[in-house]
Amino acid sequence: MELAVPKATKHQLRVLFVDDDESISGLLETELPRMGHSSTVCRSPREAIEAVEKNTFDAAIVDLKMPGGSGWDVIDFIRENSPETEYVISTGHGSMDDAIRAIRMGAYDFLPKPVTLFEISAVLQRIGEKKALENKNTALESRLQQVEGRS
């Protein structure tokens, strides 16, 4: 993982990072806030599912292979209980089948490990831009309905 810190993003996101690797988790616990995001770092699928039950996230970056469960369990839970959360798969043990499954399940991206801070920053920037456009679209639709209601 690169140590150079990307500049802060203009879109602050609430990010869930799920990985049992202490070095990556510890680094992102520090660096995600420096990038301008609020973060929750979980080191097990169970801990991540509990976090999703209690909080709302804009983005989740999830490792697939962890002791005590699978990242797929976390993804399934997010899809069912927090469909507005964009999720990114990150794994060092991924196969082409995993990548295809992730895309079919609606993953925003698939990042093979080792992943750099710049790759994480870039994917979060793209998610932030998408969320900003969705919010703007919702606001415009609401204003359009108000105008149509007055007609």
> Identity (one letter) of the amino acid at 100?
I
Tokens for 59? 């983005």
At 145 the three-state DSSP class reads: helix
Q: Which fold has domain 14-150?
A: Rossmann fold (3.40.50)
Q: Give the distance from CA 77 to its chain's centroid.
A: 14
Report the pLDDT value the prediction gives residue 8, as an integer from 0 to 100: 54
**Rounded distance, CA 146 to CA 8, Å?**
36
- Give percent above pLDDT 70 in the chain: 93
Instruction: Write down the domain spans for the chain.
Output: 14-150
Read off the pLDDT of residues 16-63 as tens digits, 9 standing for 90 and up: 999 999 999 999 999 999 999 999 999 999 999 999 999 999 999 999
